[in-house]
Structure formats: C-alpha cells, structure tokens
Structure 1
Amino acid sequence: MDLIRQQRAPICEALEKFRKKRVVPFDVPGHKRGRGNPELTKLLGQQCVGIDVNSMKPLDNLCNPVSVIAEAEDLMADAFGAAHAFLMVGGTTSAVQAMVLSVCAAGDKIILPRNVHKSVINALILCGAIPVYVKPKIHPVIGVALGMEADALLEAIKANPDAKAVLINNPTYYGICSDLVKLTKIAHEHGLKVLCDEAHGTQLYFADDLPIAGMKAGADMAAISMHKSGGSLTQSSVLLIGENMDQAHVRQIINLTQTTSASYLLLSSLDISRRNLALRGKESFAKVKEMSEYARNEINAIGDYYAYGKELIDGSSVYDFDVTKLCVFTKPIGLTGIEIYDLLRDEYDIQMEFGDLGTIMAYISIGDRMQDIERLASALSDIRRLYKRDKEDLAYVDAVTPKVVCSPQESFYAKKQSLPIHKTAGRVCGESVMCYPPGIPILSPGELITEDLIGMILYARDKGCSLQGMADPSADNIQVLEGVLGA
C-alpha cells in the first residue's frame, strides 16, 4: 500500500473545488443545492445538499470513470490489495449480485453454502444459475451454521464437475470463517472462480490477528460492505477483483443494474473512509478488537449468556473466528434473541444489529465507545435478573437445508398460487421466506416446503422476528408453484 498516495481523496477534492465555483445549476437534482426544498436542507444541512450533485465532466461518471472516480477506485484497490476496485452505490447486495452475474450464465452451476444472504439467491433468479448447496455442520450448542469444509467442497466439485464458481461467506454474520486459502486452492485447481461475500469483513483487510481476507487468500472477487464496519454512509460498498478477472466485463455487468445517477454523497463517503482506513485502520480495528473482547468477557461473567469467540475454532468447520463479531447466545436464560433484542430497544434504548431465534448481535465498529459496552452489559444483566425463565427448545434458522426441486429463476417466474401456510407441506415454494436481519432465507424459490419448515416459520413469526420476502407479510399464506408437487 502506498501511504503517500493514500492521503488523497480525489472525489472529495473535486467536490470541494466544484463547491467553491458556485456553478449555476441547470441540471438535476431538482432541489438545486437545497434551494428548492428548504425542509430537506434544514434536515441534512447545506454542506450535505450542496454536494448532492449529478455526474459532470469535473466530477467524472461512475458508469465509465476516467478521472477522479477512476483515481478513487485505483486508491481503493491499492488499500485492499486488489487488482481493481469498483465503487458501489447499491449496497453490497449489488456487489454480491455483480459477482455472481460476472461468472454465471443461465444453467451454470455455482457451489455455495445454504446460509447465504438473500442477495445471492436473488442473483440466481436474475441470471438463471443453479445452486449446488454444500451443507454446513451446525454447532451443537449455539445452533448456527459453521463454515465450508474442504472435503465438502471437493465432494460437491466431483459431483458437479461442470460448476463454474464457489461462493464463500468470509466471515459469516456470526463471525465463523472457513479455511479460505485451502478452499481457494481447491477451487482453482478445478477451474472454479472463488467469490467471497465479505459484507461483514472490511476489518479483515486492516487489522492484525484477524482471519485472512479474500484478496490475500487469492479469491477472484470479494464484495465489501464499507458502510458496515468501515465507516462510510449506508448503501455504499466496494467490489474487489483479482488479476484473473476481466475488469471491462465486470464493469459491464455492474452497469446492467447499477444506477446511472450515482450519489456523490455515497461516493465521497467511500473515498474518505478508504483514506481513513488506509492511514488509521490498523489502530482503529485494534480498538474494536479490544472492545469486543472486553464485552465478551463482561457478558460471559453475567452468567447464562454465552458470548462465543475463538474457543469455537476446531481447524475444520470453524477454521477461524472474527473476534470483532459480538454474538450472544441467549437460550440459557429462556429467551430468544429477538425477545432480548426487543427488550433492549424498548426498555433500555439500545439498538442491536439483530436478534434471531437464538442469538443477539452487537455490531462493534470504529465508532463505538467503551462506555457503550458497559451500558450493554449492564442492560443484559438486568434482563437476566428480571426476565429469566425456564429455557425451552428453540429452532434455528441457520440449521435448515431444504431440498432444491427446481432452479430459483424457474420457480420465481413460474405460475403460482397462494395457499394457507399449513396446507403447503409437500409443495414447491415460489417465493423467499426469511428473517431479516440477517436475511438468510428459511425457504427460497424452488425449494420443498416441509412441516418442519412451516413450524419454524410460524415459530419465528410468533416470537417477533421480521419475516420478509413473502407476498403475504403476515406469513399466513405462501406462494407455491401451481400444479407442482415436490415430494
């Protein structure tokens, strides 16, 4: 990394230069630097709306960058150790989908774990690729899906020698990491591209003693959520590629779905955040690690809760663990994660990243403070004292690997009918059903609905999880393929 060059922020510099010129705007956006919408200006401030501008020659164009955006992408690639970087303003969803669409066409197979984010499934709907699921092991205590094992990948490749790519979560939402170097080596030896969903892995590129990052492990592509742990504005992300990817082709794929009116607020936030991480990231993430480990120890000292960490490492299904992920298993106090999530928000004014059926997660990043950690630990202790009850059997969304009957694309566009959920066992699902966050589908289009899955969906709904993806938001009905039985 060239630390001298990394002091630049070319998009931000161009915006500041443009602001000083006081150009008369006869272009979009129509609020004209905020003058046409004073309420918006009052909410966001003149500094913000004054640089909410459209693409123009001095500011470059994200669809075909040749000047300041091109330079910013080059600096981003240098900071992350990639051959090239694309600035993404459609969130990491757009980056993940661009990865899949860049290497898969209709009918192509892609190997992936079942606990992928919904953006991956949606990419398969868009391009018509066929998922080959590698079933992960489930941890016997905390109930979450673990990493992809080398033997499982090899078995999937042997059974599907025509597969084009493998997608790996690095890390998972819960901090679990696979042996990325070994998996990448196996995939490349068999001619497969390696795609890394690193939506929760920005810190891996700028910290010591954390699991290996995708680009360093030799992955071909990696999707990075800069806005999650890297400090940029919500919806701003990065797509990284290695030397063996066709940069022009990837740009064309991105431009199929990415806006032609990119927000310079998002682009400048990526530019500034990259500079901040390049110059101060190692120091910042060292503090994040310190806060996370402190929180883990404090929460475990309360009793009953289990804030898990590196003790999960077994060298196989949990090859490594990202200690910046503060996930707390809640079953021992008799409450689901979503119940504690609600209590923390409603009674203690603490907003967690997510609560699912067995876990809550606090997203610790460069903006957190130690006093906030203390407040969280104190609230959890209070909840245990006031609300603890006999523990019950809990279902876990991550533990599901449904049978794939037909492709996501075929199922999504097939003729469908809506049936009461309790009458759908044995039918093929025509839509996605997921708890969000984290956005891992319980059911995806083309998968067989079973009584167990119906029970899990209803249990999650009754416990207060936010169910998404269904035409019926109440989850009373599910869309199934008309006239198709999956059993």
Structure 2
Amino acid sequence: MKKQNIISGIKQYRSQVDTNFHMPGHKGKNEFLGQLIEDISSYDLTETIGTDNLHYPAGFLKDAMDYISKVYGSKKSYMVVNGTSCGIISSIMACTKPGDKILVQRDCHKSVYNASILGDLELVYLYPEFNKKYGLNFSISLEKLDQQLSYKPEIKMVVLTYPTFYGICFDIKKAAEIVHKHGKILMIDEAHGSHLKFSEDLPLPAESSGADIVTQSIHKTLPCLSQGSLLHVCSERVKVDNIEAMLRMLQTSSPSYVLMASIENAVHWMESSGKERLKRNIEIFKERTLELRKIGINVLEENFLIGEGLYSFDATRAVISMSEIGITGTKLQDILRYKYRIQMEFADLQYTVGYITATDEPEDIHRLFDAVKEIYLKESKNKEKGEIIQIEPFPSLQHERKMRSAFYAENIFVKIDESIGRTAAGFIIPYPPGIPLVCPGEIIDQDTADYVKVMLENGINVNGVNENNLVRVVKWKEDL
C-alpha cells in the first residue's frame, strides 16, 4: 500500500505539538464536536428526499439557519461552506455592479481584493494608522473614513475588518453611523470575531452594532470544523435576493452536511456551554498578560493599547513581541514550537500571535505564558542579541492600471530585484494572515522589494513569490 501522504503528515505534526493556539477553534479536541465525531460517515449526506438543500432550504437546514440568526440577532443568517472568503466575495458582488467603487480598509483580507477582480470593481483605500514604536497597524481613523465618503460620494459600500488579525478594534457603532450618514452599506469582515457575541468582556459584536452585512469564520474561534462560516444580513439596506443569488453561484453545489452540522453544533455549544469557559479563559489571559508586562514583555493588553489611542482590544488574542531583545516574531514562534511543543497561529517580523478560545483548558494557557516568561528571562540575559527588525507600514504604491486588467494581462516571472519599477500581475501576500503587500496593477518599488526579501530571510511565507524567488509582473514589449 502506498503511503497516505496527508494522513502521515498530520500524524507527524500531532506527534510534535502538545498544545496549539491556532485555528480551528476546537483545538483538535473531539469532545467539542458533538455527535459528529461518533460516526462521521453517517452524517455525510447529499441532497435527497428528506435532507433539504442549502441553496433552497425548506427543512432542517432552514431551521438551523433560523436558529443561528436568532442567536446572533440578525435579519437573516446563512451557513457558508466555502469559507468566509466566499461569504466576503458574495456579499461585495451582491451589493455592487461592475465598475463601481468601494472603500476598503487597506489591511483587509485578500478575498476582498479577489472580489474586486471578479466584480471588476475599483478600490479606494483607507489606510490604518501605523504605530511605528510598536510596529503595529492600529485602527482606522473614523475622521478619515468620513472624509473619504465626503470626497467620493460615488462609493457604493464600505468594507472594514473587525477585529484585525491582531485583535485590534475601532468604535464600530460610530463607524456605522458615519457610513449610514452618507447612505452607504457597511460590510464587516468579522472572520476573527464570531466569539464576541458570547462575552460581555470583549468588544461589541458587529452584527448588533450597526453593520449591514457581517461575515464570520466560526471555525477560527468556535469549535467548528475548518471552512465553517456564517454570513449575517443585519439590515434592510441589503437585498437578500442578491446575496442568495451570489451564494448559489459561488458556493459548491455539493455542500458538506458534516460541515453544516458542525457549524450549528459550534453555535449551540457556545450558547449552552461555551460562555462560562470563555469568561474563565479571558480572566486567566488578562491576569497572565499583566504579569508578563510587569517584567517587561510586550504582550498586547487593552488598557495599554487604549493609553496609546486605541479604542478596544479582543482579549482572546495573544500577541507577543520580544523584538526589544532581538528576537523576531518568527524566532519566538520557532522556540515555542521546537523547544516547548507549542504551536502559535502565525508570526511576523516582530510578533507571534495565538488564539485563545473557549475550548482551551486553563493549563493550556498557563503553559504558553510560562514558556514565554522562561524564554524572556533566559534570552534577556544573552549579551549577543539579534538585530532588531522593524515592521513597516503598508506601502502606498502607484497604480499603473486597474487590478482586473493587470491580473489578466500577459505576464512573466522575474527575480524580485528585477521587478522594481514594473507592474505587478499577481499578489504578493505574507501568509498568514493573508493581507496583500502588493496588488495587481501596482508598481513595485525598491523599499517594497527589499521588505519582501527581509521577510523571506526571516522565514515568513510570502505567497506570490515562487520557489525560485520569482514574482509575476505584466509583460512589456521589450520582453518579447
């Protein structure tokens, strides 16, 4: 029998990691997956007599979505089995027509940019406020949001990320007031915030704070199988028929009943059992965070961030930096993985980030914080400290052509250094978290090329740079 590559690879990973702070939110613990785990093949069905149809629900799938809608307080909720990327693209295309302009937060997920290519849309950027001292994109400026909508009344909708990948939140009620004052639709990518609904100790959930559409990756922070997502329509400003038409077009015609059952189970478990566990874990997280901050470790914490001008912070996000003692985010992630058998969600040049969910046990959280403390106390005594590498703000690159036309243009692959001054034909995306550094149609400059090389040198996976360190650019006549 030939080797089962996927099964073998997963088993090898599991043998190397004892505790994980990455998605999915069930953290590999069967007890949170309900009856599914008992006999998974019996729940793997198709559309037939008595099993309903996700695209035209009239039976138990409709009942499940009605239940989810009631829990989240939406006008209507949809289970999305192609992941939140599908929900985001469906929502944007349902509210726009080819050629329309939409205002987007520059540090949004790549699926927003993909929607602009598929829908032939023009993006207007709202850049986050960058804090150079801490190497973080803080929050969007609501004043600049208002200004953009005043200067460009032709904008059709606004797409914002809440919380960000680092747990940072803005005043969502105020943002909704501004967007609606200008008569626009507000869509919130709440991929990392499906748990906010279940705690009063966290920032307000978008679906009850004025957003018109909310998309959520419940597999990230709830005990759901990967790809399980929700799309909530929260106001009369959104045409439900358009949303449903796009979901039918973009979702698979063979939705997984196992995944749909997992989505409903995750919401039910959170409502019935998860709230108290989440509250307990938030209290432990906050206590241990303050402990580490007192000894000098840069762990993001709400009061500290508010003091720096931030609005609020999701206290389930462990965002840790030891850059001041010369340890990059990727190096810290590696130490946690290979010395302590703890795997985080992702790392950048400065921070390593992990998710704490209701399924974590107190000993899991203590294990992480004990390891971080031990690493810091040891490494801070090391006289030979590594070079401090600063995270850079998003580049404001010149647009040479529309994103869609550049994406479909004739193209070639060139070395990173040879791409300087040329028009990107593809995305360049540090992944995770999946925020494009360069988009099709933008001219790659020297600083951006240098920054990409620094990320690669520090072990960061950069999508759009192939195994030979080549990137895709628009072909010139002289390339022929």
Q: TM-score, normalised by structure 2?
A: 0.87
1:51-70 to structure 2, matched below 5 A, reads 51-70=43-62
Change (3 A) 1:299 1:398: farther
Distance 1:341 1:468, change over 3 A: same
5+ unaligned residues in a row in structure 2: which ranges?
Answer: 1-35
Query: 1:427 touches 1:484 (CA, 8 Å); kept in 2?
Result: no
Could you tell me how far 1:183 is from its partner in structure 2? Answer: 1.3
CA spacing shift, 1:118–1:319, aligned 2, 3 Å = same
Question: Which of 322, 341, 346 is the aligned partner of 1:354?
Answer: 346
Contact 1:467 1:473 in 2 (8 A): no
Deviations 1:315-371 (A, max 9, x none): 96x222111211112211211111111221122110101111111112000111121
2:279 to 286, 305, 313: 286
Cα displacement (A) at 1:218? 1.4
- Correspondence 1:467 to 2:462: yes
How far apart, CA to CA, are the structure 1 residues paired with 2:73 and 2:355? 25
Name the CA distance, whole Å, in 2 between partners of 1:143 and 1:45.
Answer: 42
1:121 corresponds to which of 82, 89, 113: 113
Which amino acid is 1:133 matched to?
Y
Q: Distance in 1 between matches of 2:303 and 2:215?
A: 24
Determine if the alignment matches structure 1 residue 332 to structure 2 residue 324: yes
Counterpart of 1:368 in 2: which secondary structure? Answer: coil
> What is the alpha-carbon distance in structure 1 between the residues aligned to residue 374 and residue 277 of structure 2?
30
Q: Deviations over 1:392-420 (max 9, x none)?
A: 34242654343333322121111112221
Structure 1: distance between partners of 2:477 and 2:306: 43
Root mean square deviation, CA, Å = 2.1
Matched ranges for 1:33-112 at <5 A: 47-112=39-104
State how 1:130-209 maps to structure 2 within 5 Å: 130-209=122-201
**Does the alignment pair 1:402 with 2:404?**
no
Contact 1:414 1:481 in 2 (8 A): yes
CA displacement at 1:451 relative to structure 2: 0.8
> Where does residue 406 of structure 2 map in the other structure?
411
Contact 2:130 2:136 in 1 (8 A): yes
Secondary structure at 1:166 match in 2: strand
Query: How far apart, CA to CA, are the structure 2 residues paired with 1:251 and 1:297?
Result: 46
Aligned: 1:438 with 2:438? no
Contact persistence 2:302–2:312 (CA under 8 A): no
Residue aligning to 2:226: 234
Q: Is the 8 A contact 2:286 2:301 kept in 1?
A: no
Distance in 2 of aligned mates of 1:458 and 1:116: 22
Deviation readout 1:119-153 (Å, 9 max, x if unpaired): 11111111111110012211232211121222111
Change (3 A) 1:381 1:314: closer
- For the 8 Å contact 2:322–2:376, the answer to whether it is kept is no
Q: 1:311 to 1:302 in 2, by over 3 A?
A: closer
TM-score (norm 1): 0.86
Kindly provide the amino acid, as one letter, of the partner of residue 292 in structure 1: F
AA aligned to 1:197 is D
Query: Residue 195 of structure 1: CA displacement?
Result: 0.4
SS in 2 for 1:270: helix
2:304 to 284, 300, 311: 311
What is the number of residues matched between the two proteins? 439
C-alpha distance in structure 1 between counterparts of 2:392 and 2:63, whole Å: 43
Residues of 2 paired with 1:200 and 1:351: CA distance? Answer: 18
Code of the residue aligned with 1:262 in structure 2: it is P
Amino acid at match of 1:433: I
Deviation of 1:158 after TM superposition, in Å, equals: 2.3
Match of 1:246 among 231, 239, 250: 239
Q: Are the counterparts in 2 of residues 298 and 377 from structure 1 also a CA contact under 8 Å?
A: no
- 2:199 partner SS: coil
Structure 2 residue 373 is the aligned partner of structure 1 residue 381: yes
Alignment-derived partner of residue 255 in structure 2: 262
Contact 1:165 1:192 in 2 (8 A): yes
Q: Residue 352 of structure 2 aligns to a residue in which SS?
A: strand
Deviates more, 1:208-217 or 1:172-181: 208-217
> What SS is found at the alignment partner of 1:111?
strand
Structure 1 pair 278–377 and aligned structure 2 pair: CA distance change class (3 A):
closer
- C-alpha change, 1:484 and 1:346, in structure 2 (3 Å) is farther
Q: What SS does the aligned partner of 2:136 have?
A: coil
Distance 1:142 1:315, change over 3 A: closer
Question: Would the alpha carbon gap of residues 306 and 255 (structure 1) be closer, same or farther in structure 2, given more than 3 Å must change?
Answer: same
Q: How far does residue 302 in structure 1 lie from its aligned partner after superposition? A: 4.5
Contact 2:79–2:229 at 8 Å: present in 1 too? yes
Distance 1:484 1:360 in 2: 44
Q: Counterpart in 2 of 1:450?
A: 445
The CA deviation at 1:484 is 9.1
> Which residue is 1:7 aligned to?
none
Counterpart-to-counterpart distance in 1, 2:419 and 2:413: 9
2-structure distance, mates of 1:243, 1:346:
48
Separation (CA, whole Å) in 1 of partners of 2:288 and 2:38: 39
Q: Secondary structure at the match of 2:189?
A: strand
The answer to which structure, 1 or 2, has the higher relative contact order (CA under 8 A, 6+ apart) is 2
User: Counterparts of 1:303 and 1:200 in 2: how far apart (Å)?
Assistant: 28
Cα displacement (A) at 1:229: 1.0
Give the distance between the partners of 1:153 and 1:63, measured in 2 at CA: 36
1:299 aligns with 2:288: no
SS at match of 1:277: helix
Structure 1 residue 164, shift from structure 2 partner: 0.5
Q: Distance in 2 between matches of 1:206 and 1:154?
A: 31
